[in-house]
Chains A and B, each alone.
Chain A
Amino acid sequence: MTATTGARTATATGTFTPQPGAAPLTRMIAAQTVLETRMLLRNGEQLLLTIVIPALLLVVFSAAPIVTTGAGKRVDFLAPGLLALAVMSTAFTGQAIATGFERRYGVLKRLGASPLPRWALMTAKTGSVLVTEVLQVALLTVIALALGWSPHGNATSVALLLVLGTAAFSGLGLLMAGTLKAEATLAAANLVFLLLLVGGGVIVPLSTFPHGVATALHMLPISALAEGLREVLQHGAGMPWGDLGILAVWAVLGLTAAGRFFRWE
C-alpha cells in the first residue's frame, strides 16, 4: 500500500475499483447519532411514550387534585417526577424496545461488519438518547412553567442526576434488549414502565405507601431519580448524595451486566 492517491486514481478507472476505508471516527459517530435519533423520532409509539405521555400526565395531574402531593403547588411536586419519567421512557423503555428490534432485524449484526466499531455504535445510541432527553426536558419545562412551576436548586445537581439516571436506565434497557427476544423486550419494557410509573414516586408520592414499602421502593432507580430531582428542584437541596449513590450503583450494575451478557445476534 505504498501507492499515492494520485497514482491510484491514474490506474483506477472503474466505478467499483476498490478504494476501501473507514470514514473518520467523528464523522461515523455523528452520522450514526443522527440516524438513531431520526429512527427514534419517526416511531409513533416511541413518541407517545417519550413525549406525549409525560406531557399529558404533567398537565392532567397538575390541573386536578387526583393524587395528594403534599404541601405546596401540585406542579412543583409533579414536574421533577415527570422529568424522571421522561428519562426512563427514553433511556430505558424506548432504547430497550428499539435495540431489541434492531437485534432481531440483524441491524446490530450488519453494523458489526461495517467500519463502525461497537463502542462507537453505543456512543451514538447514547448521543441520540441525550438529544431526545434535551427535547423532552425543554418541552416539560415549558409546560411546567406555564402551569406555574417555580423550580429551585442548582443546575449542576440536576444535570448530574439526569446523567446518572440515564446511565442507570440505559444499562438496564440494553441488558434487556441484548438478552431477551424482541417481543419479550417489548412486553417487559412496557410493563416495567407502567409499574415504575405507579410505584416509583413519579406522580404518586412514596409516602402514600406503608413505611417499609416506601423505603424499599426508594431503592428503585426511578424513585431515586424522581426524589433526587424533587430534593433539588422543589426543596432547593444541594447535592442529593443518597439518591446519586443509588443511581450510581444501578448504573454500574446495569452497564456491567449489559456489557457481559449483551448478544449482538
Chain B
Amino acid sequence: MQSTPAVEVTGLVKRYGAKTAVNGLDLSVPRGCVAAVLGPNGAGKTTTVETCEGYRRPDAGHVRVLGLDPVAEAASLRPRIGVMLQSGGIYPGARAAEMLRHTAKLHREPLDANALIERLGLGSCGRIPYRRLSGGQPQRPALAMAIIGRPELVFLDEPTAGLDPQARRATWDLVRELRADGATVVLTTHFMDEAEKLADTVVIIDGGKVIAHGAPEELARGGAKDTLRFSGRPGLDLASLLKALPADTAAAELTPGSYWVKGKVDPQMLATVTSWCAQHSVMPDRIAVERRTLEDVFLELTGKELRS
C-alpha cells in the first residue's frame, strides 16, 4: 500500500458549464513529500485540489488519493485526509479554539488541541467569533483544523494567503514537521519563495494544464541559462573568451568594465573565465553567479501581463 503515490491524477478534466477549469491534468505526489501547486488566478488549482478531496466529480480522467476513489470511497478516505479550504469552513459565531477542540472530537486520536492552540497563537483570537477575525487570522484555525486529526495526507489551499511574516514562518515550520513525521502535504500558493523553500516537488499549472513540474531547483535551472557577472579592466576582448567556452554561451560588456557571461554556469565555466582573466592579467572583481529563481521561470511560462 505504501508504495502507491499519495495522489495520482491522470488526464483530469473538470468543467463548470461551458467553462473548462481543468483540462487534462496529470499530477503525482509520492508519499512523505511536500508538493506545491502554483499557477495564476483561475489556473485550476482549487478545482484540482477539491477534486482530490472528493468535492468534485471529474468529467474525465482518473483520480486516486491514498489509493482510493475520492468520490466513490469518500467515507473511507475522509478520516485519513486533512483539508484546509481556500476560505471559510468555520461557524461564523464560533471561536477559533472552540472550533479546533470540536474538530478534535471528530477524530479517533487527535493531536493535543491545547498544544496546537498555543503553537499557532489561536488563543490570541480569544473570544472573538470567527466572522470578526481580520485578514489572515482565519487561516490559522483552518490550518489547525486540517492537521488535528493526524491525517496521512493534508491538502492546504493557499495556507499562507494574508498571513504576516511570523505566521507564514510558523506555517512553514509546521509543514516541514508534518513531512518529517511522515505525512504528505499538497499545498497551493502564489508565493514562489514558499514553493522553493518548502516543496520537494512543484507543479505549475495554467489554463487547467500542467505547464511545468519537477523539483524546484531543477525547474529553476531547467536547462535555461544562468548569468555570471564580473568587473575588470574596460575594453577586454571577449571573442577569445567565447572561443574557450561552449558554443551557446554569450558574453557582453554592459557598461565599461562590467561584464556578463550567459550560459551553463558550472565549475568548469567559472574556471575557464578566471583562467582567461589570469591570461589577460585581469583581476575579476565582484564575481557573481545569478541563478534563475522559480519566480523567473513562473513569469517566463505564464507571461508577465496581468490576466483579465
Given A15-B111, A18-B183, A23-B106, CB of A113 within 8 Å of CB of B152: no
CB–CB B102/A35 < 8 A: yes
Chain B residues within 8 Å of A102, by CB: 91-92
Query: A214 at the A/B interface (Cβ < 8 Å)?
Result: no
One of B80, B92, B177 near A101 (C-beta < 8 A): B92
One of B54, B75, B85, B177 near A106 (C-beta < 8 A): B85
Query: B89 at the A/B interface (Cβ < 8 Å)?
Result: yes
B141 to chain A, nearest CB (A): 11
Would you give the 0/1 interface string for A1-36, flagging 1 where the beta carbon is closer than 8 Å to chain B?
100000000000111111111110001100110010
CB–CB A43/B93 < 8 A: yes
Q: Measured between alpha carbons, how far is A129 from B306 in the docked complex, in Å?
A: 50
Query: A237 at the A/B interface (Cβ < 8 Å)?
Result: no
In the complex, identify which listed stretch (B12-20, B143-151, B198-206, B252-260) lies at the interface while the others stay far away: B143-151
One of B75, B81, B177 near A16 (C-beta < 8 A): B177
Query: B137 at the A/B interface (Cβ < 8 Å)?
Result: no
In the complex, identify which listed stretch (A69-77, A114-122, A222-230) lies at the interface while the others stay far away: A114-122
Given A14-B177, A105-B131, CB of A19 within 8 Å of CB of B109: yes
Considering only residues 111-156 of chain B, those with a C-beta below 8 Å from chain A are 111, 115, 130-131, 145, 147, 149-152
CB–CB B55/A17 < 8 A: no
Query: Could you tell me how many residues of chain B have their Cβ less than 8 Å away from some Cβ of chain A?
Result: 43
Query: B88 at the A/B interface (Cβ < 8 Å)?
Result: yes
CB–CB A21/B109 < 8 A: yes
CB–CB A20/B88 < 8 A: no
CB–CB A105/B89 < 8 A: yes
Chain B residues in the interface with A (C-beta under 8 A): 1, 53-55, 75, 78-81, 83, 85, 87-94, 98, 102-103, 105-109, 111, 115, 130-131, 145, 147, 149-152, 177-178, 180-183
Further 6 A-B residue pairs, CB within 8 A, beyond A105-B131, A110-B145 = A17-B183, A19-B108, A20-B81, A31-B105, A31-B106, A107-B90
What are 22 residue pairs bridging A and B, where the CB atoms are less than 8 Å apart in the complex? Answer: A16-B181, A18-B152, A19-B108, A20-B107, A20-B149, A20-B152, A21-B80, A21-B107, A23-B107, A28-B105, A28-B106, A32-B106, A39-B93, A102-B91, A106-B89, A107-B88, A107-B91, A109-B88, A110-B88, A110-B145, A113-B55, A265-B55
